[in-house]
Amino acid sequence: MQFIGILLAPESPWWLTRKGRFEDAERAINKLVTGVPADFAKKEVAMMHHTNQLEIQAAVGASFFDCFKGVNLRRTEIACIVWLIQTISGSPLMGSATYFLTAAGLSPSTVSHLVLGIASPLADNRLRLST
């Protein structure tokens, strides 16, 4: 089903603009957006082209090591800490918690109560473990 949707979806107007195919980008926008003024697509493509030019100018002379210099060092630290907190807290395992708890030997009933109790501890007092 997704494959059919992918085949029928128009190209990304941003990608077309970056490749210099401005008329195709306007056609893609017209397919994606309805009920707008006639010059809407032309203005959007002009904005996309301008934004792309700004990004090209900003990227001149930039390298991977710039992430660890000046103000970017602070941004890199923040992004790494946020990612690390999610990983350390077990967020990637939350989707598979029922599988791992069942594999560890807990009964499916206990697992469901435990997972629901963790997901919404204030929802109902009966979800608390009584041991």
Going from N- to C-terminal start, the domains of the chain cover: 2-62, 95-127
What stretches of the chain adopt beta strand conformation (E)?
none
What interhelical angle do 22-32 and 40-59 show, nearest 10? Answer: 120
> CA–CA separation, 38 vs 21, rounded Å?
19
Q: What is the pLDDT of residue 112?
A: 81
If 0-12 CB within 10 Å is exposed, 13-18 middle and 19+ buried, where does residue 45 land?
A: buried
In the chain, the percentage of residues whose pLDDT exceeds 90 is 44
Q: Is the pLDDT of residue 123 over 60?
A: no
pLDDT in tens, 13-59: 999 999 999 999 999 999 899 889 989 999 999 999 999 999 999 88
* Residues listed for the chain: 131
CB 111 within 8 A of CB 98: yes
Can you tell me the mean pLDDT for 122-131? 51
Query: Which pTM was predicted?
Result: 0.54
- Which amino acid is residue 90, in one-letter code? G
